[in-house]
Amino acid sequence: MKSENETILLRDKEKEPTDEVLENALGKELFTIYQKLIQIFTDEFRLELQWRFYKDGKSWLCKVVYKKKTILWLSVWENYIKTGFYFTEKTSNGVLELEIDEKIKETFSAAKPVGKLMPLIIDIDQQKQIEDLKKVIKYKKGLK
């Protein structure tokens, strides 16, 4: 779990998150992980990335979609890449059945609902976390 005073990056509305901007923000190591994520999103899952500047959060967020369905949200933080999924009460039980890190499931179970949706947040700062992320994407993408 990350501390509350972590810093979200990409706050300049005029600076679109190009690869160059992202590499400068993330640093070499995290940018490599970011590139791997994008490759998985686009090649493996056929997802589309939609970067937008959101006034309420005063930062750039990436909505990752399949056709018209939002699969996850991605944001860039000081020492990690935050991915956020949202599940309904009905679909949240399936998350707990996935073969993913128990800590992710525990955090998910303890999360406070956002409206009627249950948030699942995975903060990525290491390559090894990508496998869990892929399982959640596969599950979310397969939901009707």
What pLDDT digit, counting tens, does each position of 64-87 carry? 999 999 999 999 999 999 999 999
* Predicted pLDDT at 4: 57
**Domains of the chain with bracketed CATH:** 19-142 (3.90.1150)
94 Cα distance to chain centroid: 18
Claim: this prediction has a pTM higher than 0.85: yes
Q: How many CA atoms lie within 13 A of 132 on its CB side?
A: 22
